[in-house]
Amino acid sequence: MSDNNTEVNQYVKKSTDLRNNGRIEEALLSARKATTLDPEDANAWWQLALCQEQKEGLAASIKALEKTIEFAPYFAEGWCQLGLAYKKTSRLDKAIECYERALEEDESHVRTLKLLDIALKDRDLIQDKDRRINILHSLYELGELDSTTSFDYAFLLSKQKDYLASIKIYELSTQLSNNPIANYNNLGYNYE
């Protein structure tokens, strides 16, 4: 390992430690120094993005996130975070592209699956319904459905007239919900 790589790694570690201790200004300076020493170090850009997000919000981290994935295109969490930043800045289609790219790298990336489902629900295009069902099914298989996503999944299955599958998910949603009345109502409809 060259002296430059060692120095970059030291600044990256220092940035991480400082950020974890709430010393964001100093962490930001260390991350910037790391990106200056090696402008192609993905982890240095990632640390810079995390510091910028904590200090100024997600929008401020977009350029550093773009650099992160440029130098580490296999990094699913980087794609996911960039997607979230795009969504927060009203670039929904770009956010969805990033989430899809994250899932190409890690199809079981739970955070991305959840954020992609929300983004597709927000976009609300007819052609997104099947994709949402696939995403929700993946979350179901991973044991990651909550009361809202289980209800949405059951509802979408019911709309497709897959009543048996819908009943199974509504039953799960009833167990997860603090207020299962809508689940019981929809269960009755599906049993009919």
pLDDT single digits (tens) 149-162 = 988 998 899 889 88
pLDDT classification of 190: cutoffs 50, 70, 90:
low
**Average pLDDT estimate for 55-75:** 97
**pLDDT for position 78:** 98
Q: How far apart are CA 76 and CA 55, in angstroms?
A: 23
pLDDT at 74 over 90: yes
**pLDDT for position 166:** 78
Dihedral sign for Cα atoms in the order 80, 83, 87, 88: positive
Q: How far apart are CA 161 and CA 190, in angstroms?
A: 9
Q: How far apart are CA 145 and CA 71, in angstroms?
A: 33
The set of residues, in sequence order, having a beta carbon less than 8 Å from that of 33 and lying 6+ positions away, is 11
Q: How far apart are CA 183 and CA 172, in angstroms?
A: 9
Let me know: does 112 contact 102? Beta carbons within 8 Å.
yes
pLDDT at 171 over 90: no
**pLDDT for position 182:** 63
**pLDDT for position 180:** 65
pTM above 0.85, yes or no: yes
